[in-house]
Structure 1
């Protein structure tokens, strides 16, 4: 296989991954491969902070807008498609820039994680159980059959609870048995992580949510309901979308108080997700970390892009 080793830009939500990935693509001659599960969905733009075509600066982006909201996002399907696109990018002599914070998506590519594919009947069974008994009770069922998985999955996380139970049933083994081994990255991928002081990041996340609601997230949810969002399994549970749906009545109406609650709960949900991302990526010793804090930063401090290029040994100044 010809071409240059990929660069993965990973880290928690709100730390500046997209900006860094764009800068690297421009400087290195790269194409971006999205590794954010929810940005795969067409129409889910505001709530996922998806870059607009204009913001992409003419740089090719892959794995964006490839699913309808009625389809279920699958790590296995993503891996198959993204592997093909990475190979094609390298064959063109370009650098694949893997960008995203969906932990399993990144690891599926970098470590060749073989995750069991979904089984519609088994998945439907646990989805029904979820509707019948609620996420906490279903999480207790997971704890009974796979205590280790239950310790790593929040009792409030329905999607991962259902998935873990599905994998246990399909494989007859604990969910943890399918975890990847952190070793030499595939394709010689170089991993860069972006991080930010937690207090500053929490403020960024609140501002981010406020901007999403101010620029039309509720209307976006209404439009997506019209094309099947409520029938989807994965898309409707995305942070922001799930909170808006919870506050809407049967006619997709939502008052100011409901909108305020949805925004507050979106911030809380995002902060929880960020802490999971920090824990997951923090265990990967291969990642070279770049700080994106703005507070107390010296005027002459190099920006994250220059730090990244220095790390990669590709500073072209």
Structure 2
């Protein structure tokens, strides 16, 4: 019999957890529930104790991804369920996601619709991420950043060393699964309004989300990012040479520099592609390649 472990990262989500945990226990009475308290200063630990669920507490905030990794390491279930602690995810949806997992997938992600996005700006940003990830992988990516997902525990633990301590663990895990040819499915869900204050900071996280775009490319296939840039430098060098030759009959340093940049960027992409291939090559406990 498959055993579920529900891992919930939480930072100052006591009010949301007080409403979420009873519903979760009712929906999944046999599941192991682990709340990872990411340095909360509210009553998160007391709320977990009152509900009778496991609470792993950090002495200070290490990040959402760090909480996910801590929970995944100690989980006893064969299937891990990750959901946010802010009350947005409905515990009744877990059964549908697990059912899709039984169809042969390695990970099933709860895909939010447009109405479930936290504002127009976030909706547009997530749409851009989904489009870019779909182009990179050649697969339809319905919700790259959703924190509601179920996954086979042994598959997920293969990539713990890749996961960041910050907020982009969904992006990293999704791209890692695609890169390793593990089956990923998307199941439509409705996300409710979060309870309490969001931890997203527009300026700081706007820059972070921009970096995620580059991370998507480098996680999956670096050459798909570096080769177009290399080609642009090469074509600019050719255009510059055509202009200077037509008007002065000479080759300038500008063209030579752009051609050099083209070669350097291409070689960096080539080396990154080889490193990526080695990164996603699984190893056993003895360090030997499988």
TM above 0.5, yes or no, is no
Larger Rg: 2
Q: Greater strand percent: which structure?
A: 2
